Structure 1
Amino acid sequence: MSTPRDWIAGRRAELLAGLAGTEQRLRDVREARGDWIDEEHDPEGFALTFEWQHAEGLRAHDAAELQALDAAEARLDAGTYGACDACGQPIPEGQLELRPARTRCVACTDDRRR
């Protein structure tokens, strides 16, 4: 049976692998763009800019989730992991296994979206 530390470590490994791929994409785009920055006259300029922005967004999202996993580990060490930040009720293990950095139960997440 896996534990919360396993869930966190597994998700961290997925994110780090994804970040490595994203960094490679960014290097490829930088190389393809070279010194050319005249997007208006470069037939591939828009596509490269879109690819760059997409990769930067992925990198920022993954970095934020890594920070959330660090916070989840800190909650685990403090004994507060798995409790909803809003209502204090336990978050079901199945939800934590899918999203180990989760800080809110489904009910409180739904309330926040309304």
Structure 2
Amino acid sequence: MDAETARALMARRRDDIRGRLDEVDRRLAAVREARGDWTDEEHDPEGFALTHEWSQAEGARVRLGATLRELERAGDRVSEGSYGRCAVCDAEIPTAQLELQPERTACVACVDRRRR
């Protein structure tokens, strides 16, 4: 894959991630507002649900932030000329996989081996 195409894929993915981060921030703000000053979860029927919602949104925020950092590293690999190569076996990562996940660093075979 050429550098221009790779950078365009990364830009689209980055925009998508930032949009999702905005949604998560709105969810977190809504939970914060719903909780107000009330901190007695044990006696608040909404307490558990709000804590669960907060936990899910915060987890999503962390994962999305990590993906943005991975995209930055992918941009570095484009500049270095190593983008699109598996970091484990050095095989070429299929274009279709990079189109879905431009921050990808491993080929399908290596990812499958790692999961076992």
The TM-score by the shorter chain falls in which range? over 0.9
Gaps of 5+ in 2: none
Deviation track 1:86-112 (CA, whole Å, cap 9, x = no partner) reads: 000110111001010000000111111
How many residue pairs get aligned? The number is 113
Matched, 1:98 2:100: yes
> What are the residue-to-residue correspondences of 1:11-90 with 2, within 5 Å?
11-90=13-92
How much does 1:56 deviate?
Answer: 0.1
The normalised TM-score by structure 1 is 0.97
Q: Determine the C-alpha separation between the residues in 2 that align with 1:106 and 1:90.
A: 10
Question: Is 1:107 aligned to 2:109, yes or no?
Answer: yes
Question: 1:38 Cα deviation (Å)?
Answer: 0.4
Q: How far apart, CA to CA, are the structure 2 residues paired with 1:25 and 1:108?
A: 36
After TM superposition, what 4+ stretches of structure 1 lie above 4 angstroms from structure 2? none
Q: CA deviation at 1:113?
A: 1.0
- Letter of the aligned partner of 1:38 in structure 2? D
Q: State the TM-score, normalized to the length of structure 2.
A: 0.95
Task: Tell me, in whole angstroms, the C-alpha distance in 2 between the residues paired with 1:71 and 1:50.
Answer: 32
Percentage of pairs with the same residue: 54
Q: How far is the alpha carbon of 1:6 from its aligned partner?
A: 1.1
